[in-house]
Homo-oligomer: A and B are copies of this chain.
Amino acid sequence: MQKPHELYSSLAIRNDNKILVLVVDGLGGMSHKDYGYKTELEYANHPNLDRLASRGTTGMLTPVLPGVTPGSGPAHLGLFGLDPISFNIGRGVLEALGIGLAPAPTDVLARGNFCTIDHEGAIIDRRAGRIPTDVCKQRLALLRNIHLPQADIELHAVQDHRFVLRLKGTDLDGNIENTDPGVVGAKPKPARPLIPRAETTARIINAFVDQAMDRLKEQSAANALVLRGFSMMPNIPSFYELYRLRSAAFAIYPMYKGLARAVGMDVIDCGRTLSDQLQTLETHWDRYDYFFIHYKYTDSSGEDGDFLSKVSHIEALDSSIDVLVRLDRAVLAITGDHSTPAGIKSHSWHPVPLLLASPTCRRDGSTAFTETICARGALGNMESKYLMGLLLGHALRLEKFGA
């Protein structure tokens, strides 16, 4: 059956109407018993968001399927109109995107951790004491020029003990088990192929690991490495191919820049605050049709379990969005990629509130931007992968389907 993005793509046309999506990371919350069973968004004071809701329409997005908690990759692909189950982005690819690499679809990527092992080879510190990034780079330097007959290995420091391994070759396959046993006391495992086609790749990885371990063994700490999240870049069409949209991302954190790059957006340098991001956006207004703005702090404070901090980040956001209110001829969506309730301290499955405002929308009488209001909004509850179609529709950028 045709996927939603294929139908949208077949109908997409160009015009001058702009689309602006503000992704408030981890926006959705959960009733919190210490705060009158309100969510963070219900507890916070956000008159500007409420005003936007009252001149728009609201609903709920289910990132993947009911009950399923998404990682950041699938959650964003959904918002970009791609079915997150078909276009799964692995951990290795996501890390690579996060440091600005542009993996080819033939590369195999993995997330690497330096760890510390004892004289018998058992892991005694899975993060090698979170060595500084500089030490990580020194260790990677030791691993330079490891020669493998059938592929090239690239290693890139990320932060602390973390790095990205990129294997370049022909006929590689990423279906390989983690070498990271995931627990202290166990030894790093060999890379095992999950399917026959990955046997050669697993052999290359193991040849690399053997030589690398040999070069690291003299160190007192960070004297070994483990790999996980072996994966390959899915073949993702670009936003322009798909939707005829010139698109730009205004994100601060590397991973979100990477996700935007993966769908062919231009990534714009935009400072350190939401105000910076929105001001930069204004200066790029004429050059693009679609603007992706990513706001991180609601997710971080949710992950920390800090209800009031998440509330204050929502309120800070609210006080910065007058630019959005000014750009009132655009199709504006404010939503999250997923929920991150402070009460759970992690991503969750709860649907995400969605606010859509545009001159073409059907106002639904929403009086505020909260989960409770959005759950009763006129857009209903839909999977995130339909949002792009809704935005294109409101921007009059989809031709009539059929005669």
- Contact status A39-B362, CB under 8 Å: yes
Judged by a CB distance under 8 angstroms, whether A344 is at the interface is: yes
Q: How far is the CA of A121 from the CA of B378 in the complex (A)?
A: 52
Check A67/B363 contact, CB under 8 A, given A74-B402, A85-B7, A91-B403: no
A212 at the interface (CB under 8 A from B): no
Question: Would you give the shortest CB distance from A292 to chain B, in whole angstroms?
Answer: 18
Interface-located stretch among A155-163, A260-268, A383-391: A383-391
What is the bound-complex CA distance between A349 and B351, given in angstroms?
23
In the complex, A30 has a CB within 8 A of chain B: yes
Within A348-384, which residues are at the interface with B (CB < 8 Å)? 348-351, 359-365, 371-372, 375-382
List B contacts of A29 (CB < 8 A). 362
A64 close to B390 (CB less than 8 A): no
Partner of A67, one of B30, B362, B389: B389
Residues on B with beta carbons closer than 8 Å to the beta carbon of A350: 362
A67 pairs with B378, CB closer than 8 A:
no
A31 contacts the other chain (CB 8 A) = yes
Beta-carbon contacts of A21-32 to B below 8 Å, as 1s and 0s? 000000011110
Inter-subunit contact B401/A68 (CB<8 Å): yes
**Which residues on the B side are within 8 Å of A88 (C-beta)?**
402
Which residues on B sit within 8 Å (CB–CB) of A351?
Answer: 378
A335 CB, min distance to chain B CBs, angstroms:
14
Sort chain A's interface into a size bin.
Answer: 35 or more
Q: Name the interface residues of A44-102: CB closer than 8 Å to any CB of B.
A: 55, 60, 64-74, 84-86, 88-91, 94
Copies of this protein chain in the complex: 2
Contact partners of A8 in chain B: CB under 8 A: 65, 67-68
Q: Report the nearest B residue to A92, measured CB to CB.
A: B403
Residue of A39, A64, A347, A362 with most partner-chain B CB within 10 A: A362
Cβ 8 A contact of A363, one of B2, B37, B402 = B37
Q: Is A394 an interface residue (CB 8 A)?
A: yes
Judge whether A94 and B403 touch: CB under 8 Å.
yes
Chain B positions within 8 Å of A2 at CB level: 85
A378 near B375 with CB under 8 A, answer yes
A400 to B348 alpha-carbon distance, docked (Å): 8
> How many whole Å from A96's CB to the nearest CB in chain B?
11
Q: Does A330 interact with chain B (Cβ within 8 Å)?
A: no
A351 to B390, CA, bound (A): 11
Q: A248 interface residue, CB < 8 Å from B?
A: no
A389-B65 in contact (CB<8A): yes
Query: In this assembly, does A4 line the interface, its C-beta being within 8 Å of a C-beta of chain B?
Result: yes
Give me 12 A-to-B residue pairs in the complex whose CB atoms sit less than 8 angstroms apart, sorted by A's number: A30-B362, A66-B389, A67-B398, A71-B401, A71-B402, A73-B402, A90-B403, A91-B403, A344-B396, A349-B393, A349-B394, A375-B377
Give residues in A with beta carbon < 8 Å to B.
1-2, 4, 7-8, 11, 28-31, 33, 37, 39, 55, 60, 64-74, 84-86, 88-91, 94, 229, 341, 343-344, 346-351, 359-365, 371-372, 375-382, 386-394, 396, 398-403
